[in-house]
Structure 1
Amino acid sequence: MAHQTVGVYSETAPGERRVALVPAAVGSVLDLGLAVVVETGAGRGAWFPDSAYTRAGARTVPRAELFDAADILIGVRPPNVAATHRFRAGQALVCLLQPLHVPDLIRRWAGQGLTTIAADLMPPTPGRAGPMDLFAAQERIAGYQATLSAAGLFGRCLAEPGPGPPARVLVVGRGPAGLQAAATARRLGAVVHVRAARPGSGAARPGFGADLAASVRGSDIVIVTAETPGGQPPELVSARSIRSMRPGSVVLDTTAGALGRAVELAQPGGTRVVEPGVTVVGDDNLASRTPTGASTAYATSVAALLTHLVRDGALSIDRTDPAQAAVVVTHHRDVLNDAVWQRILDQISLAGLP
């Protein structure tokens, strides 16, 4: 089998500065027997010039040439292509796909024979950060950035250099972003309390909402994170709870985006001040605020994932492999992920499509 080519496309979403492969990771991909082409300017937002990619052994090409040449396309977000664009049968796409939220795209791309690999569906490695945990790595960076962003909007230092008490920070969510946000706030000197984003799976918790509202009311900074990828965030913090906070407080929702929000007053990509003087931020793209580090972490995980997927210089899909079963959504015109297939069927039924 001829050796295949990996193509790294530019991210086009507003505010997205990451790139899926950094120059330092190109060598790891070349070692798999793959060629690497990078869209011209793809790394610019993360401070990686084209010259760094060519020195590492990649070629830089225009976007149209990249989509024609690449056998395996890799990105952070799904590629922004026209509805009339047709992928070549047998091409593959690796990105943070969020397939449950784009069933129309999945159906169209499956019909074209595109193999889609949703890196965000990789299950976490118990007890440690696994090398292929792309979503977890990006969430940890987002949690770090969430604390820095909230601290920058807060009216005083988290740990006062004078006699004042340290800030009280509430982090909602015990996933990678929440735990990193809490650790960062503690290093900055805040008193930190971490709560789950939902009741435990055991006994019913009828007082969960009231307990959370009381915790919000007593906090100076509230950071709300997602515990699991891909799902629509539940609304956790109400407008009433926010308006019960002290003037100068900050609420930051890391889930607020196209899929929904966990904080009632959060505007995706926006910052607002509501009575009695609480700053509310909605931002689900915090990792892009640290584009060099986030891109490097992403590229390391991509290289590890490709190492798992590639044999003798070509993509090798094995449906019996547990890791592949988790992330391969479409292959050979079939939708392999049961949840995504059900979402497609639901959409077809709702629209009355054939």
Structure 2
Amino acid sequence: MVAAPSTPPENPAALSVGVVAETAAGERRVALVPKLAERVIRRGLRVVVEPGAGEGAGLPDELYAAAGAELATAASPARHCDIVLTVTPPSDADIARLARGTVLIGFLDPLGAPQRIEALREAGVTAFAVESIPRISRAQAMDALSSQANVSGYRAALLAAQRAPRFFPMLTTAAGTVPPATVLVLGAGVAGLQALATAKRLGAQPTGYDVRPEVAEQVRSVGAQWLDLGIEAIGEGGYARELTDDERAEQQRRLTEAIGGFDVVITTALVPGRTAPTLVTAEAVHGMRPGSVVVDLAGATGGNCALTEAGRDVVVDGVTISSPLNLPAEMPLHASELYARNLVELLELLVDAEGRLAIDPADEIVAGACVAGLPEEVA
């Protein structure tokens, strides 16, 4: 059953916010959830939602209509709104459907697809890439990378537990005692810390490692151990110094040896706009016990494991290497709720109390996130 369009807004001249139905394969998230659509409407804006946009996340059209949103029609498409919210980057066809002067907000991959940004600029679109929002305290509520990385880390631990042929927790039964699984997480960013915390909740013995020794306390704070490879990189003033070639080779050798002692390895190391660093070598995989599992969250950018095949599960010498490409889409309801809050916080920075666009190019967040068409460029 499709809900009838809601009553037209009292102010049809109000800025309109379009919510598109994602078309990328496997994408089940939506850029705005009904509860936050109400918040946007209370600010004096119209919300126009493409029919079925929230169904993948368990949010039917009726919930949007009840929140006061309008359902898009052929005569009033969501992509013709003043502001368009998206999860995944637009295709060339999507860009062609955006009117000049449209404000687009979403994941746009500006470093990985500069040609898309150029197309948006040529189309006269003011585009805000949420992955480019500066990581400052004032922008924490807008940090979509962190909100979605939390989901990825959680799901990665669950995926590892599912792929592993053993229990995660220690079990004492009449048939004997099963020791807990040992889990190594490489990379102690948001995803890595969440993976460690989730593995701990599942009863495993988690250990974290990062090239930044200063994050050791964060690893311990979630109940995990810190993998100390015995190589210090502390320079003058307490800052990290660059490792020498010999130190880097020794670090990799020690890490390769350590990996063989774990039942599960989860890798989370990403470098924006660059190929993911190789942390788990082929030698390390061959040194793992049969039945071990590697979950590589960097598969889309080359993988942290030398034997990763993006988007696939492969088995090498009895070791399962899994490379999921979009874990947040596997938990679409909460991932959408978190993401929508990020977008609304940014949206409220771009719209004044009267519901009018008030984009300030001098604002640090605006300048960092805007990858195409600041107002003076579009004019």
TM-score (norm: length of structure 1): 0.87
Percent of aligned positions that are identical? 40
Would the alpha carbon gap of residues 43 and 86 (structure 1) be closer, same or farther in structure 2, given more than 3 Å must change?
A: closer
From 169, 191, 196, give the equivalent of 1:182: 196
Conserved 8 A contact 1:78-1:95: yes
From 249, 267, 273, give the equivalent of 2:309: 267
Q: In the alignment, what sits opposite 2:267?
A: 224
- Residue aligned with 1:131, SS: helix
Residue 323 of structure 1: CA displacement? 1.1
Residue 250 of structure 1: CA displacement? 0.4
- Structure 1 stretch displaced more, 144-153 or 226-235: 226-235
- Structure 1 stretch displaced more, 318-327 or 223-232: 223-232
Partners of 2:302 and 2:159 lie apart in 1 by 21
From 130, 140, 147, give the equivalent of 2:150: 140
CA-atom RMSD, angstroms?
2.4
Would the alpha carbon gap of residues 253 and 197 (structure 1) be closer, same or farther in structure 2, given more than 3 Å must change?
A: farther
Q: What per-residue deviation string (whole Å, max 9, x for no partner) do you get for residues 155-178 of structure 1?
A: 111113132321110101111100
Partners of 2:374 and 2:332 lie apart in 1 by 34
1:1-354 aligned at under 5 Å gives the runs 2-62=13-73, 65-82=76-93, 85-125=96-136, 130-162=140-172, 163-196=177-210, 201-204=240-243, 205-206=247-248, 207-226=250-269, 229-257=272-300, 259-275=301-317, 277-311=318-352, 312-332=354-374
Would the alpha carbon gap of residues 179 and 134 (structure 1) be closer, same or farther in structure 2, given more than 3 Å must change?
A: same
Structure 2 unaligned residues grouped into runs of 5+: 1-10, 214-232, 234-239
Q: What per-residue deviation string (whole Å, max 9, x for no partner) do you get for residues 165-194 of structure 1?
A: 211101011111001000111111111111
Would the alpha carbon gap of residues 192 and 157 (structure 1) be closer, same or farther in structure 2, given more than 3 Å must change?
A: same
Q: What per-residue deviation string (whole Å, max 9, x for no partner) do you get for residues 230-249 of structure 1?
A: 54312221222111100110
Residue 306 of structure 1: CA displacement? 0.9
Q: Output the amino acid matched with 2:91.
A: N
State the structure with more CA Rg: 2
- Structure 1 stretch displaced more, 234-243 or 148-157: 234-243
Conserved 8 A contact 1:39-1:66: yes
Residue 208 of structure 1: CA displacement? 2.2
Conserved 8 A contact 2:80-2:97: no
- Residue aligned with 1:20, SS: coil
Structure 1 unaligned residues grouped into runs of 5+: 337-354
Would the alpha carbon gap of residues 268 and 323 (structure 1) be closer, same or farther in structure 2, given more than 3 Å must change?
A: same
Would the alpha carbon gap of residues 190 and 84 (structure 1) be closer, same or farther in structure 2, given more than 3 Å must change?
A: closer
Q: In the alignment, what sits opposite 1:348?
A: none
Conserved 8 A contact 1:120-1:230: no
The number of aligned residues is 333
Would the alpha carbon gap of residues 33 and 120 (structure 1) be closer, same or farther in structure 2, given more than 3 Å must change?
A: same
- Structure 1 stretch displaced more, 323-332 or 21-30: 323-332
Q: Output the amino acid matched with 1:286.
A: L
Residue 196 of structure 1: CA displacement? 1.2
